[in-house]
Structure 1
Amino acid sequence: MDLVTLSIVLLVLLFVILATGVWIGAALAMIGFVAIVVKSTAGPVGVFGTSIWSASISWDLTALPMFIWMGEILYRTRLSEDLFEGLAPWLSRLPGRLLHVNVVGCGIFAAVSGSSAATCATIGRIALPELMKRGYDERMAIGTLAGSGTLGLLIPPSIIMIVYGAATDQSIARLFIAGIIPGAMLAGLFMGYVALWALLNPKRMPPADPPISLRNRIAATRRLLPVVLLIAGVIGSIYGGLASATEAAVVGVFLALALSFFMGTLSRASFLDALLGATRTSCMIAFILAGAAFLTSAMGFTGIPRALAGFITDLGLSHWQLLAALTLFYVVLGCFLDGISMVVLTTSIIMPLVEKAGFDLIWFGIYVVLVVEMAQITPPVGFNLFVLQGMTGRNIFQIGLYALPLFLLMALAVALLVAFPGIALWLPSTMFGG
């Protein structure tokens, strides 16, 4: 069987297995087993054991369960309520008023969560009922929340950046720092869209709230102090060179526990719920990574990645044409898989192409996170759409339509990142050199 035919057969087989409901980690391992049996003389059992062991002992992955635990702890606090109450007095004077709370609130919570779905759920739990109660346009309220929730992937600490860094052997600290400016840029694009929409559709905006005095706005801002301290502790320790990403994750858990204690939400039950929630999520991700590690090794034995890289090279695609094809590929893949699965599944195939094209792997990591963000709001498997469907009862395709303008803004952000790589690379090169 030639490599092209084998590639098609394996791809079809993967989607068939996934369609039957088999766990993603097991599906990836099964495809790896078939590939290595059909096209290699290497023993699949030995390759399986070696690849899974190598993937499981990566020190960088230690940060993963810690950041997930931190997010689980904070999910059970009053943090989202404090964010809304602290931000609302300041944002109510901008065009679009409290719709900006979705964007800014998600951006801030993303800096202490690392998860897109958790960011969307936590901010939506408080912001969405408030916006509906005050008469804001439902389409905008839901759409901006769906799109802004994706900031949880881009603004550090990001779980998917940890997965990408571990899969490609890149510095997680550099990836975290590289995501700051693109994250701020994307949030700025979202806020600009909200303001423009409000100016063009004044009749669809509710009456303005009564003016709030400066003294009351400053008093409300005090509710933002805990989360600001938490962000400073986590990102500041990395930025200041005081801690690695793994050590910063431990700092984050300690501060999250302290914050929960002082808010009065830390109890034996909430502590165990957060710990078990983090354990379940971490095990799920570790299982996917293990299956993907075996598939990556199997692909290496078959020679498919090298053949595919050679095929793409022979096409003579320019850099932007290659990136356009990859963007389309990831968006389509995102209709069927979650973000983490997309990253670990494609690493073995995409990385040879990326390295041969000469792309900086830190920059490419930010690019991948951006296009995976787009996949978070593409039906039928957009995680943020699932979250909002549970909150609103709306059809998942309807929510996807509400989020379409923000999807297009993400595509614009990808284009800007490609045109100006310094958006992602300037800050890490300034801090770490090189």
Structure 2
Amino acid sequence: MLTVALVAAVLFALLTGTMLATTIAALGLIVLYFAFGGNFSVLGNSLWNTFNSFTFTAVPAFILLGEILGQSGLAQRIYGAISPGFERLPGKLLQTNIGACTVFSAISGSSTATTAVVGSIAYDELKRRGYDQRAVVGTIAAGGTLGILIPPSIALIVYGAWQNVSVGALFIAGIVPGILLATMFMIFIGVMVRLRPAMVPDVAEGMSLGGALLKSLEAWPFAILIFAILGTIFLGLATPTEAAALGIATAIVLALLYRELTLGRVWAALQSTVRTFSALAFVIAGALVLSQAVALTGLPKQLITMVGEAGLPPPVVITLIYAMYLVLGCFFGPIEMLLITLPFVFPLVTGLGFDPVWFGIVLVIVIEIGLLTPPLGINLFVIMAISRNEVSLGEAAIACLPYWLLMLAALVLITLEPQLALFLPNAVGFR
């Protein structure tokens, strides 16, 4: 009954334009009132403990880091430093888009920020040079999805903090799947360019190998930035929250060295961070209210019992969960999906014996697919904004379809072989 009520509430929010946070919080309060006589005492402690969590503090910190990178011009320098090397591959700057998204993902933790920053650098330039528009759109939007898989991922932080799963283990587990997806994208681009050479301009854009290597040395400050964030976590020198703060400090120092960061840009980054996190915090608060109501009703245990009585094998259950998330991805952003569904799904998945770290990775991949799925795939709208509506929603979706299928293939592969996600955290002792 509560599941039906939740679906009805979410549909109501979509159809009426009501804030999702308000809708799900109201549903949770109604359940607490009628089922438990208005016992709201648990809510205060739950809200305080979550927002006062040291781990959860990493979320606004990584949002701010991404904003500083975008405002300071450091992202443009990353793109310029790695371009010559990727231009030597079939696909040239199309390959650079994937490479830049991969590098930026290892700094920002956000798919929207990755798509917006790389897209703002690459779209107009590649269009001016005569690259196929559909190919450009597909590489930027698909590459941007890596932002929530490759660490430091805000989605993985929320998942780990929300369900008490090691964020460090999740970060390490995301490395191989992230590199796997980036490699699949680049191989696909290379194959398509061989089949359709007109996708890229027929001009000699690449410099010599020596020149490309020399140019890549300009990326040394960003290697320091990545080490400050990821290296300190993996070596056990810092928690994700401490690494985020260290990353912000490092990014500011680098931006000041390049003399591209002004007080006005810092203020703009702070304002954007406050707006983004405030909107997210409202959804988190609403989800916390609903989560408490769900836990008190015992619904997760009922779901596990129902699945057991139905005799559904775990592979069928996980496939149905994937299907549910693929549908939800048409309508919700990644964090909203996590917050709304995990109170129901996580106990069911772990109760069936699935590894919580592995599930965090495959869940993020499913959410990545949702970012490219109309009618509300977020990355599609980012592309529309970058192109100033030169690219329609339908055109963006068609351009992303091959990458959508590649991500689905990666999801199947990691489902069939969980060690692709788990062997690295196991090997370095994060389990």
TM-score range, shorter chain: over 0.9
8 Å CA contact 2:74–2:255 kept in 1: the answer is no
Question: Is residue 262 of structure 1 aligned with residue 257 of structure 2?
Answer: yes
Partner SS for 1:76: helix
Q: Whole-Å Cα distance in 1 between the matches of residues 32 and 162 of structure 2?
A: 20
Aligned to 1:19: 15
Please give the residue correspondences for 1:199-348 in structure 2 after superposition, counting only pairs within 5 Å: 199-348=194-343
Q: Deviations over 1:142-166 (max 9, x none)?
A: 0111111000000111111111011
Bigger Cα displacement from structure 2, 324-333 vs 52-61 = 52-61
Structure 2 segments unaligned to the other structure (5+ residues): none
The aligned amino acid for 1:155 is: I
Offset, 1:198: 0.7
Please tell me the residue identity of whatever aligns with 1:252. G
Q: Does residue 423 of structure 2 align to residue 426 of structure 1? A: yes
TM-superposed CA distance for 1:96, in Å, is: 1.4
Quick check: 41-50 or 383-392, which moved more?
Answer: 41-50
Aligned residue number for residue 31 of structure 1: 27
Q: Is the 8 A contact 1:330 1:372 kept in 2?
A: yes
- CA separation in 2, counterparts of 1:108 and 1:381? 26
Instruction: Decide whether the 8 Å contact of 2:134 with 2:395 is kept in 1.
Output: no
Call closer, same or farther: CA 1:298–1:172 in 2, change over 3 Å. Answer: same
Kept after mapping to 2: 8 A contact 1:10/1:35: no
Contact 1:178 1:366 in 2 (8 A): yes
Q: Deviations over 1:389-413 (max 9, x none)?
A: 1112122122111101101111111
Residue in structure 2 matched with residue 417 of structure 1 by the alignment: 414
Distance in 2, matches of 1:12 and 1:229, equals 49
The aligned runs of 1:390-405 (5 Å cut-off) are 390-392=385-387, 393=389, 394-405=391-402
Q: Are the counterparts in 2 of residues 33 and 44 from structure 1 also a CA contact under 8 Å?
A: no
Report the CA distance between 1:28 and its aligned residue: 1.5
5 Å matches for 1:23-422?
23-38=19-34, 40-392=35-387, 393=389, 394-422=391-419
Shift of 1:44: 4.3
The answer to whether the 8 Å contact 1:48/1:294 transfers is: yes
Per-residue CA deviations over 1:155-196 (Å, capped at 9, x if unaligned) read 111111111011101111111111111100010110011011
What secondary structure, in the 3-state scheme, does the structure 2 residue paired with 1:241 have?
coil
Contact in 2 for aligned 1:147/1:403 (Cα 8 Å): yes
Where structure 1 has 5 or more consecutive residues not aligned to the other structure, the ranges are none
Runs of at least 4 residues off by over 4 Å:
none
* Distance (Å, rounded) in 1 between the aligned partners of 2:206 and 2:257: 32
In terms of mean alpha carbon deviation, does 261-270 or 117-126 score higher?
Answer: 261-270
Separation in 2, partners of 1:235, 1:55: 24
Q: Deviations over 1:184-237 (max 9, x none)?
A: 001011001101111111233320325522342233213322222110111111
- TM-score (norm. length: structure 1): 0.95
Q: Distance in 2 between matches of 1:214 and 1:7?
A: 59
Given that 2:58 and 2:241 are in contact with CA atoms closer than 8 Å, whether structure 1 keeps it comes out as yes
Q: Distance in 2 between matches of 1:235 and 1:117?
A: 20
- String of CA shifts for 1:356-384, please: whole Å, max 9, x gaps: 11111111111111111111111121111
Contact 1:65 1:278 in 2 (8 A): yes
Residue identity opposite 1:415 in structure 2: V
Q: Give the Cα separation in 2 of the matches to 1:48 and 1:14.
A: 21
Give the counterpart letter for 1:340 in structure 2.
Answer: I
Whether the 8 Å CA contact 1:153–1:369 is kept in 2: the answer is: yes
- The one-letter code matched in structure 2 to 1:52 is L
Q: Distance in 2 between matches of 1:34 and 1:211?
A: 63
What SS is found at the alignment partner of 2:397? helix
Task: Report deviation, 1:243.
Answer: 0.9
Is residue 294–residue 343 contact of structure 2 (8 Å, CA) maintained in 1? yes
Measure, in 2, the Cα distance between the counterparts of 1:409 and 1:211. Answer: 28
Cα distance, 1:342 vs. partner?
0.2
Question: C-alpha separation between the residues in 1 aligned to 2:123 and 2:232?
Answer: 33
Task: Give the 3 Å change call, closer, same or farther, for CA 211–166 of structure 1 in structure 2.
Answer: closer
- Paired residues of 2:58 and 2:244 also in contact (CA < 8 A): yes
Aligned length: 429
Q: Give the Å deviation of 1:64.
A: 1.2
Instruction: Report the Cα offset of residue 42 of structure 1.
Output: 4.2
Deviations 1:114-157 (A, max 9, x none): 11010001001111112111111111110111111000000111
Distance 2:298 2:3 in 1: 10
Quote the RMSD (CA, aligned, Å).
1.5
Verify the 8 A CA contact 1:78 1:263 in the aligned structure 2.
no
* CA distance in 1: counterparts of 2:241 and 2:305, whole angstroms: 37
Give secondary structure in 1 for the equivalent of 2:18. coil
Q: 1:10 — aligned with what?
A: 6
* Contact persistence 1:52–1:291 (CA under 8 A): no
Structure 2 letter corresponding to 1:20: T
Percent identical pairs in the alignment equals: 38
The Cα of 1:263 is off from its aligned counterpart by: 1.8
Q: CA deviation at 1:88?
A: 2.1
